[in-house]
Amino acid sequence: MTQHERQPGLSACFRHPERDTGIHCTRCERPICPDCMIDAAVGYQCPECVRQGAAEQAATQPRTIAGGRLRTDTRLVTLCLIGVNLAVFVGLKASEYLGGGEFGLIRDFAMLGYAWAPGSPELMGVATGEWYRLLTSAFMHQAIFHIAFNMFALWFLGPNLEAALGRGRFLALYLISALAGSTASFALAAQNQFSLGASGAVFGLFGALAVLLRKLRYDMRPVLVLLAVNLVITFLPGLNIAWQAHLGGLVAGAAIAYGMVHAPRRNRTAYQVGVCVLVLLVLVGVCVARTLQLT
């Protein structure tokens, strides 16, 4: 028997022509050899049909209003963010207790625009290239009431947004809102003033929830009242609250959420990524312009 002769009743595997087989894919009916056989609910399928079936199943899988995957646990990212904030808070207090000085970490990682380092002739701050402060400051809290208020707000707002947007989109919303809050402080606040806290990110969640409720045509009054109360508190004299961070986060969060929930179904993910990148580019532009102005 030559290499190209087939045994009676057998066919050549469509992926390995040199192999005889009597098995066919139950989906496309092409002959497949043992190396190409993949167990299916009925019979066997070829690798191409398995991949195609997985893609079709993913395309028909129920999605959130923003295109994220539906999850049974809609609090995972929220809990992780709360955990990180609490861990940093404990670290700050432990550093203070052990004699390292809580202010040392705040000096090195809190939001600061441009100022002389304490007891040193060197300049420090975002304008000197310490851009990491824009994000690290959003996970730092100094007072118990400060972190308690922010974490309560995050727990109140986070799970609903995480469920509506999906985990990845919610995390992007939170982090970019935090960056926007720090950027607004850099652009508008006194440059030698330290600021810290997750308030910018939290206000971003407020803005996002308002956009989401508007899209779903839900009653917005409870959220608007709560947002108004927080804005009033923000501007009360004597509390030393960084209102710039609150407004920056609020605007960025609303803009990102609007882009996410109003994205066209076709190429939705690419559109949403584009919105996030656009907001980030605006933030970078503001930081660069402010740096050039200061230096």
CA 249 to CA 180: how far, in whole Å?
5
* 3-class secondary-structure state, position 119: coil
Which candidate, 67, 63, 77, places its Cα nearest to that of 155?
77
Residue 273, Cβ density class (10 Å: 0-12 exposed, 13-18 middle, ≥19 buried): middle
Residues 6+ apart with CB under 8 A from 279: 176, 180, 252, 255, 256
User: Three-state DSSP class for 141?
Assistant: coil
Cα–Cα dist 68/109, whole Å: 33
The C-alpha atoms of residue 149 and residue 139 are separated, in whole angstroms, by 14
Identify whether the C-beta of residue 262 lies closer than 8 Å to the C-beta of residue 272.
Answer: no
Catalytic machinery residues: 199, 246
